[in-house]
């Protein structure tokens, strides 16, 4: 089971890591949760496009998926400028509500991210993505003062998963052009939340969880461009960051995979990185 999951995740995520950053998508922020933001990249032509999602954990700090930051910093994509944006408006392309990000200075990835990336090309079967942590941070020069701040969880909060009434995912929805499994027209569907009752969530190990179809849309969550979107408990505590998807999952067309933010290693790295960068205790 484990190797099958790895194989399928590897295939689809390899596409995601390349495709989501290369093709502009018409997606906007879910206005029903004001801690969720869009991370945007800029082509050398000046065209801005949404790359991923993130969540505000401090007025100047965005929590997102590490592979996004790693890909940008380690191998700046040809055709992109070294500046990006964090957008806070429902209309992600509103130039009045976005904050500049220096891609070479303002973003950090968990040290595991290099091994996480290498695991997709491993042919020995000895390493898999779910052995590593895929978490990143984006730092802003200017604070976002008009948005609520999401909270970090207590360590191992998800170990008590079945005592929760539900968990909430918030992102950008599905792009119908790329997610033709679900939609046939070529327009996009924005702002859908996903909600899971506990038995639809599986704690795969102490680093990762997976989710089957949710109870609102009966669809899986992560789409191209939704890496870095948060999974909430009680609407404000970030317990997961979406990263991978597995095409082989049943009965859903695929399942979604998130890094567990409640893992002590994840929490320690976030707090230590913030302390080192900003001199504050988160």
Q: What is the pLDDT along the chain (282 residues), one digit of tens a residue?
A: 333 333 233 333 332 322 233 233 333 334 456 788 888 888 888 888 777 889 999 999 999 998 877 666 655 566 788 889 998 866 666 777 889 999 889 999 999 888 888 888 888 888 888 999 999 999 999 999 888 899 999 999 999 998 998 888 876 544 444 443 433 333 333 445 677 888 888 999 999 998 887 766 666 665 556 788 899 998 889 999 988 777 665 666 667 889 999 999 999 999 999 999 999 999
**Which pLDDT score, from 0 to 100, does residue 222 have?**
55
pLDDT at site 41: 84
Q: Tell me, what's the pLDDT at 64?
A: 93
Paired residues of 217 in beta bridges: none
pLDDT reported for residue 136: 94
The 3-class SS string of 195-254 reads EECHHHEEECCCCEEEECCCCCCCCCCCCCCCCCCEEEECCCEEEEEEEEEECCCCCCCC
Q: Residue 221: its pLDDT value, please?
A: 60
**The predicted structure's pLDDT at residue 243:** 86
Q: For residue 94, which phi and psi values (nearest 5 degrees)?
A: -75, 110
Ordered structural domains, the chain, with CATH: 2-149+265-278 (2.40.10.10), 157-263 (2.40.10.10)
For residue 168, the tally of other CB atoms under 10 A from its CB is: 20
What is the maximal distance between C-alpha atoms in the chain? 51
What pLDDT is recorded for position 225? 62
pLDDT digits (tens, 9 = 90+) for 131-182: 999 999 999 999 998 888 999 999 999 999 989 988 888 765 444 444 434 3
Q: What is the pLDDT of residue 188?
A: 37
Strand ranges of the sheet holding 107-109, from the earlier edge strand across to the other edge:
98-102, 83-87, 36-42, 48-58, 61-64, 136-139, 107-109
pLDDT at 216: 65
């Amino acid at each position: 089971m484990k190797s099958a999951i790895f194989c399928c995740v590897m295939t689809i995520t390899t596409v995601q890591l390349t495709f989501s950053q290369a093709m502009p998508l018409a997606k906007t922020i879910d206005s029903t949760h004001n801690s969720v933001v869009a991370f945007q990249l800029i082509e050398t032509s000046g065209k801005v496009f949404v790359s991923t999602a993130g969540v505000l954990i401090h007025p100047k700090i965005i929590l997102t998926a590490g592979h996004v930051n790693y890909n940008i910093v380690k191998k700046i994509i040809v055709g992109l400028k070294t500046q990006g944006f964090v957008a806070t408006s429902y209309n992600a392309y509103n130039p009045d509500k976005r904050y500049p990000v220096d891609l070479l200075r303002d973003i950090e990835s968990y040290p595991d991210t290099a091994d996480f990336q290498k695991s997709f090309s491993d042919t020995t079967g000895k390493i898999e993505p779910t052995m590593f942590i895929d978490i990143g941070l984006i730092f802003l020069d200017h604070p976002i003062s008009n948005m609520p701040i999401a909270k970090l969880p207590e360590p191992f909060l998800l170990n008590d998963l079945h005592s929760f009434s539900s968990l909430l995912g918030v992102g950008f929805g599905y792009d119908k052009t790329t997610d033709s499994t679900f939609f046939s027209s070529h327009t996009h569907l924005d702002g859908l939340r996903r909600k899971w009752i506990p038995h639809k969530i599986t704690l795969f190990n102490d680093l990762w969880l997976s989710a089957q179809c949710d109870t609102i849309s009966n669809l899986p969550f992560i789409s191209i461009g939704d890496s870095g979107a948060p999974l909430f408990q009680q609407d404000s505590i970030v317990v997961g960051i979406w990263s991978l998807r597995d095409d082989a999952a049943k009965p859903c067309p695929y399942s979604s995979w998130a890094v567990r933010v409640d893992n002590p290693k994840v929490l320690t790295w976030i707090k230590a990185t913030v302390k080192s960068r900003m001199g504050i205790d988160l």
